[in-house]
Amino acid sequence: MVRPGESKPESSGSPGHPDRSAYLSILAVVLLVGVSTLLLNAHHVRPPDLLGDGDISANGLLIRDARDMSLGVGPYSRLKYNHPGPVTFYYLAAAEPLVAAVPSPLGRQRIAMLIINLAGLALALSLIVRVTGRNADIWLLAVSLIFTILPVATTGHHPFLEFWGPLIVIIPTLVFGLALGPAALGRAGWWPVLCLSGVFAAHNHLFNAVLVAILGLGVAARLAWLGIRHRLPQPTRKQMTWLALGLAFVVLTSVPTLVDEFGSDEGNLQRVLTTTREQHFQERTTADTMRAVGWAAAVSVTLGVPDLAAHIGLVPWGLVIGLLLVWSVAGWLQYRRAGPEFRAMILAMACVYGLSFVIATQTRDNPVSIPFVFHFTAGLAAFFFFLVLREAGFQLARLAGRTFRGSRLRIPGRAAILLSAVVMVVWMGRFRVEPMPGHEVPEGIWTALPAAQDGPIRAFLRAGGPEHFLWPQLVSFVLQAEQRGYEVLVPCYWPTIFRRRVGPGDPRLPTVLVSEKGLGTIATSSGTECSFDVYSVLAPGGTYEELERRLASWDLEPLVPDRWVTPDGSSLEFRSWWGKEFADGSAYRWNRGSGSSVFFGMADSYAPYRDTVLEMNLGALGRQSVQVSLNGRQIADLELNGFREVHTSIPIPAGLLQTNGGNELLFHVPNAASPAGADPRVLGVRFIALRIIPATGPGN
């Protein structure tokens, strides 16, 4: 019904029954978002260099397992909340051949993720147009998403190419769609909601599975409320069929995740509840988990009682308390008078911010919580921009002498929308100019990459940053080595990552073998542990018995290793070095007195190589001169002034490296003066790489 003085909204469809033009618009928008994403992130689809970034690298091994149908359930992936569930890995394994034209395997994984995220976007747009009945809303939402993707892409996260797509689209769409109007669900139908829930459940493990279950309770509560209050008609057989298919999809995508978490001794929940080593961590995480479940339950109850939605904004969540108060006051003043869009914004803002800060609280020792908060915020910002554009269109139409139903926001409501949009743009912008701590790519990798297919590859790792961000780079190195046809031995401290044993004679090459042992561990400032690992890639032909024997012979040190022993018998030793690398000057190895040495061995297969380049960062406490020598021959004379990092690349002349014995790299500080009696550190060195340059011809 159209009131006097109002015109019918311009839409060729109706709520709950979009016509062909709506679906064509959805298809066009999906293509537009997909193309814009590829244009904005073209450098993330091309073949990456040795150090691939993000979970794309780490997931490569899991996709290979899914391709072999050996992923199953169990401790298949344990990097906090950063990996999808097994269903998604099987999808990626099946989808990669469809994008075989992309030359890089990591690029193919990104394109496959883009496809599934665009499918989720299509479902989200279908839900919105079914709720509102306005085809124009599809394009407004698309513009808002592209505007939101742009600042996200500049941070390097590119959500639609990875597993962040649901955070930026699906969750806000579900919350927004469920909160729109008293009969939104009745108009929208059930299959978009259930399919979106299933896609989201497939993307992650414990937290997402619980969240989907809570959302299901919210949907049930909403249905009961609508049935009592509005007496919805009985569903047709077709609607019941879609409902059954949707529920089956949710079950198929959620159950493997829940089985993995609750049925495995290495699951996050089991690990948290059974650990005795860190009782304080157990108590804190258990309490935070209960708080998260309680908060999600409160949100689901609110979905069933829309008149209480405005009260959600009163929950003080840390950094957004000021913004929450603004929304609470505006919501309290406008709730009864405003249209359903503003009520939906109040609820969506509270849900998304609340869930994001629950995750941040649960994982406050893990920097992965920052991207979660960031992408939750970006997704909600897209809907804020959507409503800003919508409101602007209503006001322009009003100036032109036309009015539309649904635009009943008063000045406080519009001010709250604009204020929130500005705050979020500024908040996202600070990620571009001030990267959050922990997002720096960790340094400290020694790599030796041969140009030929003979001889071993060795890579030495130091923990140069938060332990979570060590793995993608290292696994990328393993993938690069696998492409060259090498067997890979991966000893690590963490017993829950990539744990898989392959018996002797297994024909699959290459194979990753993981041990609970490591070459030594250190304690970080947060109280967690990370490891000094050696990644060793052995030439084909070696036996698994030999690998196991070498693995068992490694020496372990309780804290900082004074000696690194490689599987081929050579060693890397530190002499006279200060070992607390995670004090001031994180990831540095500091010397004592006037000189310190590093001893390392080179395999015989390195003989054909011409020379090497040693790359490192140096810092000092006070003004210092440093003389660098290799095997008794000075190769550099450096001047340092203070702790500011100095990046140095030192070429090592041909023939100076010894392959039949150890090599001594000496750092001599002739004018060493300790800045404090209790602090013997003088020179700090962060080793980045030892690059080996192959010979180009005879005599070189």
pLDDT of residue 71: 59
Average pLDDT over residues 309-320: 32
* 599 phi/psi in degrees, rounded to 5: -110, 135
Residue 378: closest CA among 88, 623, 167:
167
Weakest mean pLDDT among 12-21, 137-146, 291-300: 291-300
pLDDT band per the 50, 70, 90 thresholds, residue 195: low
pLDDT band per the 50, 70, 90 thresholds, residue 675: low
pLDDT of residue 163: 67
In 3-state terms the chain splits into helix, strand, coil percentages (rounded to 5) of 50, 15, 35
Mean of per-residue pLDDT scores for the chain: 52
User: Contact at 8 Å (CB) between 456 and 448?
Assistant: no
Q: Of 251 and 573, which is predicted with more confidence?
A: 573
**Exposed, middle or buried by CB within 10 Å (0-12, 13-18, 19+), for 160?**
buried
Residue ranges and CATH numbers for the domains of the chain are 20-433 (no CATH), 442-568 (no CATH), 570-686 (2.60.120.260)
User: How would you write 217-274 as a 3-class SS string?
Assistant: HHHHHHHHHHHHHHCCCCCCHHHHHHHHHHHHHHHHHHHHHHHHHHCCCCCHHHHHHH
| Cα torsion angle, 184, 214, 152, 373, sign | positive
Weakest mean pLDDT among 55-69, 509-523, 535-549: 509-523
pLDDT of residue 499: 25
Residue partners of 605: CB distance under 8 A and separation at least 6: 450, 454, 455, 456
pLDDT of residue 286: 35
Residue 604: closest CA among 433, 450, 477:
450
pLDDT in tens, 336-395: 444 454 455 445 545 544 454 444 444 433 333 444 545 555 555 566 566 656 656 665
Residue 247: C-alpha distances to residues 105, 124, 192, 209, 216 (Å): 33, 17, 11, 14, 10
- List the beta bridge partners of residue 667: 596, 628
Query: Tokens 């209503």 identify what position?
Result: 394
Percent of the chain with pLDDT over 70: 19
Average pLDDT over residues 592-607: 64
User: Contact at 8 Å (CB) between 77 and 163?
Assistant: no
Distance CA 324, CA 333 (A): 14
- Asked if the model's pLDDT at residue 691 lies above 50, the reply is yes
User: How would you write 287-355 as a 3-class SS string?
Assistant: HHHHHHHHHHHHHHHHHHCHHHHHHHHHCCCHHHHHHHHHHHHHHHHHCCCCCHHHHHHHHHHHHHHHH
Query: Tokens 């989200």 identify what position?
Result: 124
Distance CA 426, CA 418 (A): 12
Structure tokens at 249: 């999809």
Mean pLDDT comparison of 279-283, 309-313, 655-659, highest-scoring range: 655-659
pLDDT band per the 50, 70, 90 thresholds, residue 493: very low
What is the per-residue DSSP string for 484-534? TT-EEEEE-S-TTSS-----TT---SS-EEEES--S-EEE-TTS-EEE--E
pLDDT in tens, 15-72: 556 677 777 888 888 888 888 777 766 666 655 433 344 455 556 656 766 776 665 5
pLDDT of residue 33: 80
Average pLDDT over residues 239-246: 53
Looking at the chain, how many residues does it have?
700
CA dihedral 73, 76, 80, 85 (to 10 degrees): -50
- Asked if the model's pLDDT at residue 183 lies above 50, the reply is no
- Asked if the model's pLDDT at residue 257 lies above 60, the reply is no
Q: Of 361 and 197, which is predicted with more confidence?
A: 197
pLDDT of residue 408: 43
pLDDT of residue 622: 76
Distance CA 136, CA 129 (A): 9
Distance CA 238, CA 691 (A): 64
Distance CA 431, CA 371 (A): 10
- List the beta bridge partners of residue 614: 650, 690
pLDDT of residue 619: 79
Average pLDDT over residues 298-307: 30
Average pLDDT over residues 553-561: 28
The Cα angle at residue 666 between residues 665 and 669, in degrees rounded to 5: 150
Q: Of 256 and 516, which is predicted with more confidence?
A: 256
Residue 381: closest CA among 208, 141, 160:
141
Weakest mean pLDDT among 87-101, 133-147, 282-296, 502-516: 502-516
- Asked if the model's pLDDT at residue 252 lies above 50, the reply is yes
Q: Of 432 and 257, which is predicted with more confidence?
A: 257
